[in-house]
A and B are shown apart, each in its own frame.
Chain A
Amino acid sequence: MSDGARIPVNIEVNPREEQPAFTGRLSAMLSEILQALEALHENGEQHEIDLLTLPLSEPEKEKLTEILGQGEVDITINTLGLSTIRETAVSGVWWLNHFNNEKTLLAEHIVIACEPPLVSVGRDEVGADISVFQQQLSKLQMSEHVQ
């Protein structure tokens, strides 16, 4: 054991009861979500809020989770690490997390949309995969013909 290990150290880091519970940022964010929902309802306009750039306190984050609740849909996407999209209990409000391969959180968004834009498939992608699919089908048919 080194000498340093014998030094008594007692670190108390920000006891939870002393954390400022509500800074006023949560109600501002909820107002933004409400405004975005109205815009989505009226003219289909989508909106996203970046949670990582908003320093919500832990109690505020918990309250946000509680207010938005849990919906029926959970989606995971595996590309450049995991992404999760969770439907909240509020129709049109989705909670999106992007992680990297090290499982570090890269981005955390509240998405206000009828469906998360990341999920749908582009027609050009469908077109590209049709040719791949055709090749596989042809290959299978040829092997069946030989047999």
Chain B
Amino acid sequence: MKEDNKLIEILAQQGVSRRGFMKFCAGLATLMALPPAMIPKIASALEQAVRPSVIWLSFQECTGCTESLTRSHSPSLESLIFDAISLDYHHTLQAASGDAAEEARHHAMKEFAGKYLLIVDGSIPLANPGYSTIAGISNLDMLVETAKDAAAIVAVGTCATYGGLPKAKPNPTGAVSVSDIIKDKPIINVPGCPPIPTVITGVLAHFLTFGKIPALDSAGRPLSFYGDSIHDRCYRRPFYDRGKFAKTFDDEGARKGWCLYELGCKGPTTHNACATTKWNAGTSFPIQSGHPCIGCSEPGFWDAGSFYKALSTPIGDVSGAAATAIGAGIAAGAAMGMANRAKKQKAVDSHQKLTVDDLKK
């Protein structure tokens, strides 16, 4: 990789015209969930941007995050973004293996010290380094070594961001997140199990474009994608406001597409872009397909109780609470959200297990 390769030159070499470049910038703005007014600023920034080196490390993970990214639904834009970065190490995607692969990582770390972007998926086991190794190197050692000279770190997926499934109680491997270990680098958390592919790409695009990390929320997530709750942007929200809820998966309410709150939907306490960006080329998202949100982009969601009952199936009467929300508007909705978060914490603390009865509910 030539360090002085500018993105605009790379695009021009591929025959991308000015209009194509502006279209690319418009696509990036949508990817980054930025308003169209930012398109000229994106174009201006990209004209000066230099192609960054990217090192991708995979630890205790299922490869679902990589699968999600490589199945992104806008191939021309995605391929341009990938052409615009230099993916110097990704042990699932790269052709090199063994010593050659590790040499590629060390070469990128040395040549682009202080400038490369480190992407991590998977959690890091601390109970015993032997639980997960790459080329005989423990995940912990590889992360610390590679993070040392990184410009920034993107933790992709709920395992890397918050520990995910490996960290679920009783956490046999002593799994922790990237931010539990690395304290002296900017870290962007892109949670989800897996994250929405366009959200992963959007975060990469932001770093490509502006050379810095986006604005983050208190959980380290980009506000542009995780700023709203699923509930805020859900097309079924009007049913919630009217107090119309599905009670089971095959009742009249379910067939009519009513709100899934009483079936355990975690939308009110979950922050992600599923309701707007959607999945599979914008086809649908879980709630649109008739299933409650399970809250996979929230810390500790595996230990937050049953997907169908414990977290948000209310102890009291939801219809009454919803009716209050209609009367009092947003304030009551916010109060219900706070109550849900309290229930969620309670469920996390008590670690309610999913039972067959829960599924039959």
- Where the two chains meet, the residues of A that have a C-beta atom closer than 8 Å to any C-beta of B are 12-15, 18-20, 23, 47-50, 52-53, 55, 57, 77, 79-81, 83, 98, 100-102, 104-107, 109, 117-118, 122, 125
Partner pick for B238 among A20, A49, A106, CB 8 A cutoff:
A20
Q: In the bound complex, what is the Cα–Cα distance between A35 and B21 (angstroms)?
A: 29
Chain B residues within 8 Å of chain A by Cβ, number? 38
Contact with A along B1-43 (1 / 0, CB 8 A): 0000000000000001111101110110110010111010000
Q: In the bound complex, what is the Cα–Cα distance between A23 and B234 (angstroms)?
A: 11
**B27 with A106: CB separation less than 8 A:** yes
B281 neighbours in A (Cβ, 8 Å)? 104
Interface check B76, CB cutoff 8 A? yes
User: Could you tell me which residues of chain B, from 240 to 263, have a CB within 8 Å of some CB in chain A?
Assistant: 255-258
- Where the two chains meet, the residues of B that have a C-beta atom closer than 8 Å to any C-beta of A are 16-20, 22-24, 26-27, 29-30, 33, 35-37, 39, 73-77, 80, 233, 235, 237-239, 255-258, 275-276, 281-282, 288, 290
B24 neighbours in A (Cβ, 8 Å)? 80
A81 neighbours in B (Cβ, 8 Å)? 76
Q: In the bound complex, what is the Cα–Cα distance between A100 and B33 (angstroms)?
A: 18
If over half of B's interface residues share one DSSP class (helix, strand or loop), that class is named, otherwise mixed; here it is helix
**B36 with A48: CB separation less than 8 A:** yes
A52 neighbours in B (Cβ, 8 Å)? 30, 276, 282
Q: In the bound complex, what is the Cα–Cα distance between A52 and B75 (angstroms)?
A: 18
**B23 with A80: CB separation less than 8 A:** yes
A50 with B257, Cβ < 8 A, contacts A80-B20, A106-B77, A122-B18 known: no
**B257 with A79: CB separation less than 8 A:** no
Partner pick for B255 among A12, A57, A117, CB 8 A cutoff:
A12
Most A-side CB within 10 Å, residue of B19, B75, B235: B19
Known: A18-B257, A18-B258, A50-B30. 7 other contacts (CB 8 A): A50-B35, A79-B17, A79-B19, A80-B76, A83-B19, A106-B30, A107-B27
A104 with B20, Cβ < 8 A, contacts A14-B257, A20-B238, A50-B30 known: no
B257 neighbours in A (Cβ, 8 Å)? 13-15, 18-19
Expressed in whole angstroms, the minimum distance between the Cβ of B357 and any Cβ of chain A is 23
For this complex, 21 residue pairs linking A to B, each with C-beta atoms less than 8 Å apart, are: A12-B255, A15-B256, A18-B258, A19-B257, A47-B37, A48-B36, A52-B276, A53-B33, A79-B23, A100-B75, A100-B76, A101-B76, A104-B281, A104-B282, A106-B27, A107-B26, A107-B27, A109-B36, A117-B22, A118-B22, A122-B18
A104 with B73, Cβ < 8 A, contacts A15-B255, A48-B37, A57-B235 known: yes
